[in-house]
Amino acid sequence: MDRIVETKLWNVDKNVEDLESCSQVVDAAHLIREGELVAFPTETVYGLGANAFSDEAVEKIYHAKGRPSDNPLIVHIGDMDQLHEVAREVPEMAYPLIERFWPGPLTLLLPKAEKIATQVTKLDTVGVRMPDHPLALALIRAARVPIAAPSANRSGRPSPTMAEHVRQDLDGRIAAILDGGETGVGVESTVLDLTVSPPMILRPGGITREQLHEVLGDVAIDPAFEAKAEHVPRSPGMKYTHYAPQGELWLVDGSPEQAQKKMEELIREAKANGLSTGVLATDETIGAWRKNGLVDAVLSCGSRQDPSSIAQLLYARLREFDDLGIQYMVGETFPKQGLGMAVMNRLEKAAGGRIISV
Ligand code: AMP
Ligand code: MG
């Protein structure tokens, strides 16, 4: 990176009234208008924001993250007027979705308005959403421009769910970080293409297929993220390695008893090869791992009964294995229903396709 800056870290209480005029938000909005990068919390993960109308500003996002330049960015809006500055056209079917899911973790792909910087997307479409986080909304409204923002991590690493994760990845590369505490949903937004019929999910995320089905009736899924290698994903970002911890993660799919047996076997093998080992367990299985004392690090990513707890904790746990220097990990799989679909998509990517069925 050519430019080393001093990254400001601003703590903001997201619950105070009139956030828009709080001094850190005003300063951060000023930086956005000046063409600088500011990281901010959303309800999904932390985003790395730039003025969506400025090519020069958006260009900096790719440098800071080391993001491939063909991977388009999602534009975040603070009110409905901004929707029409971002999208050239809003199809009728968008409105019931907006009504039900905005603000929230649903990104709609729409025809792109001319004002949108080319660096945001070189395609004819633009992804747009209204985040459900008071600090994100206050920042966008105070900046008075839509904000293009991918996740605020170095490309390839797990997405940040805390300001500290952003600092670890981007300190010295961006102007400021707004720290609003931990994010809630934990996985990114669902990307839904409304320019095709029926609408198609290009990336599973915080709004589930079942929820979209209730509003739309018919909703298709990009076959590429069912890990079918012969399909090229329609969302450019889906083809890259993502969310990966530094060590090697293997997922084991099967009945609880058989999966446990296989995971123990893999761990024994890794230990015999001199590797430090970890298991990404759940509240249901963590006890057994603690008892058998096989692994160097056991972390639970939540309860199998509550996929939202898994979504919320997943990225932080993957980063913890990195902090502990773990070289080899095994993990459980989850049913691809509800939020489980997004969780499994991220896990499969983090594992780089290393899945064993028993
Ligand atoms: P991130 O910014 O890291 O949350 O990633 C955004 C995701 O949305 C990536 O998978 C992008 O490829 C996808 N995306 C954003 N805009 C578009 C678009 N116009 N067409 C297709 N995919 C998009
Ligand atoms: Mg990302």
Which tens digit of pLDDT belongs to each residue from 302-337? 999 999 999 999 999 999 999 999 999 999 999 999
- How far CA 238 is from CA of 123, 202, 245, in Å, comes to 15, 8, 17
Which residue has its alpha carbon closest to ligand 1 atom 22? 235
Cα–ligand 1 centroid distance for 236 (angstroms): 7
Pocket test for ligand 1, best of 191, 192, 196, 315 (most atoms within 8 A of CB): 191
- Where b means 16+ CB within 10 Å and e means fewer, 326-346 reads bbbbbbbbbebebbbbbbbbb
Length of the chain as a residue count: 358
CATH 3.40.50.11030 fits 248-357, yes or no: yes
Atom in ligand 1 nearest the alpha carbon of residue 236: 12
Element containing residue 69 per DSSP (H, E): none
Residues with CB under 6 A from ligand 1: 71-74, 109, 121, 123, 125-127, 150-151, 188, 191, 202-203, 235-238
- Identify which ligand lies nearest to the alpha carbon of 239: 1
Which chain residues have CB less than 5 Å from ligand 2, an ion?
151
pLDDT at 238: 67
Cα–ligand 2 centroid distance for 153 (angstroms): 7
Element containing residue 215 per DSSP (H, E): helix 209-216
Q: 70-123: per-residue pLDDT in tens?
A: 899 999 999 999 999 999 999 999 999 999 999 999 999 999 999 999 999 999
pLDDT at 226: 62
Q: 220-244: per-residue pLDDT in tens?
A: 999 887 655 566 777 776 666 677 8
- How far CA 152 is from CA of 19, 36, 40, 91, 174, in Å, comes to 22, 14, 8, 30, 10
Q: 35-85: per-residue pLDDT in tens?
A: 999 999 999 999 999 999 999 999 999 999 999 888 999 999 999 999 999
Q: Are 286 and 305 in contact (CB under 8 A)?
A: no
Sheet containing 8-11, strands listed edge to edge, beginning at the edge strand earlier in sequence: 8-11, 176-179, 38-41, 46-51, 147-148, 74-76, 125-129, 106-111, 190-193, 200-203, 220-221
Mean pLDDT of the chain: 94
Nearest of 97, 277, 213, 69 to residue 155 by alpha carbon: 69
- In this prediction the pTM is 0.95
pLDDT at 355: 94
Cα–ligand 2 centroid distance for 274 (angstroms): 32
- Identify which ligand lies nearest to the alpha carbon of 155: 2
Tokens 């008075």 appear where? 144
Tokens 């080319």 appear where? 118
The CATH number corresponding to 8-226 among 3.90.870.10, 3.40.50.970, 3.30.1330.90, 1.10.510.10 equals: 3.90.870.10
Atom in ligand 1 nearest the alpha carbon of residue 150: 2
Domain positions in the chain are 8-226, 248-357
Atom in ligand 1 nearest the alpha carbon of residue 127: 16
